[in-house]
């Protein structure tokens, strides 16, 4: 049975993403931090780790991109998951009884409109599913957590309100990372990181490498390089698998034009079902 690591407690959205990628018939390794999930793969505790990459409302998860640059692992697969939040509490509690609500700060922000209608103290916590686990373990009455529906089932909580997020178009993109490389699929995507030369038109020239070959860039984002102040690396995604001849040609030219190139992985492109 495949073992998959993810950050957070059982019931986290990353676990939902792992199920979407690999089915329910897998073993799970919950980890405290994102770095721990990478280490679990490096140390062969698991074959895969599932990590959040970006949210359609909040943008990229910077820690994930920094870790992808640091570790020599491959992006093996991609999943896009609709993030639907539920308010949950101990059995028998009513919505009007709730005086305290716990959840991760990002989840609280994504449910701000709903929370503004309640007379409850809002307390940020380290994890959505972890908040649900705490309420169950400590049997906290008049308290509720915001988490995914899976967490309610795991910790025996009742859902008092569902789909409480501000925007139904709330999606998170996840990667499965591994020592393994993915084989070409019908619709593939490639992720890489590069550094451009410090000269006029350097980035323009690099983008032209893809444009002249009709390669569609789906993402381009800069991040601090961490090695030198005010230097930046660029993360890019494009449609296609590096095994293809045109993509190999593009990569060769990119290596000539850029001062640094790292391939993060070629993998099956996820299908997105809009709400």
Domains, in order of start, for the chain: 3-82+171-177 (3.40.190.10), 86-162 (3.40.190.10), 188-267 (3.30.70.260)
Catalytic residue among 37, 64, 128, 172: 172
Q: Which residues contact 110 (CB under 8 A, 6 or more apart)?
A: 57, 58, 83, 85, 165, 166, 167, 170
CA distance 253 to 209: 7
Local structure of residue 171 (DSSP, 8 states): E
Lookup: tokens for 251: 């990569």
Active site annotation includes 174: yes
Other CB atoms within 10 Å distance of the CB of residue 246: 11
Question: What's the confidence (pLDDT) of residue 186?
Answer: 83
Catalytic residue among 174, 175, 210, 238: 174
Active site annotation includes 238: no
pLDDT by 10-residue block (mean), the chain, 275 residues: 94 96 93 97 98 90 94 97 97 95 94 94 95 97 97 97 94 97 90 93 95 96 86 94 95 96 95 61
Question: What's the confidence (pLDDT) of residue 228?
Answer: 79
Model-wide pTM > 0.75: yes
């Amino acid at each position: 049975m495949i073992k998959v690591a993810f950050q957070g407690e059982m019931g986290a959205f990353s676990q939902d993403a792992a199920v979407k990628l690999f089915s329910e018939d897998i073993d799970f390794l919950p980890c405290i931090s994102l770095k721990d999930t990478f280490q679990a793969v490096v140390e062969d505790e698991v074959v895969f780790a599932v990590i959040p990459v970006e949210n359609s409302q909040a943008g990229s998860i910077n820690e994930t991109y920094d870790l992808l640059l640091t570790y020599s692992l491959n992006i093996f697969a991609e999943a896009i998951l609709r993030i639907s939040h539920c308010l949950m509490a101990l059995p028998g509690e009513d919505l009007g009884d709730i005086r305290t609500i716990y959840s991760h700060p990002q989840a609280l922000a994504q449910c701000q409109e709903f929370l503004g209608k309640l007379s409850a103290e809002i307390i940020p916590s380290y994890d959505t599913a972890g908040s649900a686990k705490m309420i169950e373990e400590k049997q906290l009455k008049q308290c509720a957590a915001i988490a995914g529906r899976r967490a309610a089932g795991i910790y025996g909580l009742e859902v008092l309100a569902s789909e409480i997020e501000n925007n139904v178009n709330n999606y998170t993109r996840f990667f499965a990372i591994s020592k393994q490389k993915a084989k070409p699929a019908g619709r593939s995507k490639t992720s890489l990181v590069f550094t451009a030369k410090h000269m006029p038109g350097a980035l323009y020239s690099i983008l032209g490498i893809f444009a002249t070959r009709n390669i569609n860039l789906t993402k381009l984002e800069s991040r601090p390089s961490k090695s030198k102040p005010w230097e930046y690396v660029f993360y890019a995604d494009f449609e296609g698998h590096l095994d293809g001849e045109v993509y190999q040609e593009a990569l060769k030219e990119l290596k000539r034009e850029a001062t640094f190139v790292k391939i993060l992985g070629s993998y099956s492109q996820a299908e997105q079902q809009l709400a």
